[in-house]
Structure 1
Amino acid sequence: MAADFALARTYTERLELRAAALDQNVGELSGGNQQMVVSAKWLATRPKVIILDELTKGIDVGSKADVHAFMAELAAEGLSAIMVSSEIPEILGMSDRVIVMRKGRIAAEFDRDGLTPEKLVRAAAGHEESAA
């Protein structure tokens, strides 16, 4: 049990989780903090690759910035992340490479350099096939 609390404390501090106590019921936390608890549980397994599907959807701007900073820290440590997002600023700010999917298929692939919101929207709408 002590090891569990030590691990919880590590991720609580690292993710800047806002909870009254480590044993607080997750259902009593804000939506953003609930997202962080889920993320901490995944990360505690020490994965090499993580898939983040709309991880920041519905959380406040401050929590979103914290999540983005933590994702960048994990990437710097060697963790690969596949991020699924419908938010263009998040895609542009967090991605090294962008794959646009349309109708279940890859519609376009872009490197970070030179990617603009306009290119991304055109690819998603079917007006640009590839630019990698």
Structure 2
Amino acid sequence: MVLCPEDRKFDGIIQGRSIEENIAISSRRHFSPFGILKPKMEAAQADQFIAKLRVRTPSRRQDIVNLSGGNQQKVILGRWLSEQGIKVLVIDEPTRGIDVGAKSEIYDILYELAAGGMAIVVISSELPEVMGICDRIMVMCQGRVAANVARPDFDERSILTAALPDKNAAGTI
């Protein structure tokens, strides 16, 4: 299980490091037997994920802070996808601060991963986003599951109502 955090800039990327380093950091143990780095293997892996995830960059050596939010998110996804045997991806606010074109690309990546058998858990405050990309929505309210809704039963009003504390849902506040 891996997590792509909500706050990319502070919890997701390694600032001051290249795209290559940001992708390779989680899988270095596979390329570094006895602690010896293998730069050519790391470079090849970075190139593979830059191409696969369509990261827009002039070079894998570019500092990650110079990328757009959408491309930073793709690099974070590349980091975790480079790990062997990942079965669950938890992605928190996957498209916050990302332009419309990058949102579509992120959704395509998530669809592809799900089609390949990976479980994707999306945490989002954007109801249209969740309704558009999820097969099931679990609504949390005050630390508890307030609703568990399958795609055929998605209804914006009932989902929003479930997200409100009981007093608000009853119309008393």
TM-score (norm 1): 0.91
Q: Equivalent residue of 1:122, what SS? A: helix
For 1:84, give the aligned amino acid.
Answer: I
Distance 1:118 1:6 in 2: 48
For residue 82 of structure 1, what is the aligned residue in structure 2? Answer: 121
Alignment of 1:63 with 2:63, yes or no, is no
Structure 2: how far apart are the matches of 1:13 and 1:117? 37
Instruction: Name which one, 1 or 2, has greater alpha-carbon Rg.
Output: 2
Shift of residue 120, structure 1, vs aligned partner: 1.3
CA distance in 2, matches of 1:17, 1:5: 15
* 1:69, distance to aligned residue in structure 2 (A): 0.5
Kindly provide the amino acid, as one letter, of the partner of residue 99 in structure 1. M
Q: Which of 112, 118, 121 in structure 1 is aligned with 2:157?
A: 118
Deviation at 1:114, TM superposition (A): 2.3
Identify the match of residue 39 of structure 1 among 77, 83, 86: 77
Secondary structure of the residue aligned to 1:41 is helix
- Calculate the TM-score normalised by the size of structure 2: 0.70
> Equivalences for 1:2-21 in 2 at 5 Å?
2-21=40-59
Post-superposition, which runs of at least 4 consecutive aligned residues in structure 1 deviate over 6 A? none
Q: Aligned Cα RMSD in Å? A: 1.4
In structure 1, the gaps of 5 or more residues are none
| 1:32 Cα offset (Å) | 1.5
**Residue correspondences, number:** 128
Percent identical across equivalent pairs?
Answer: 38
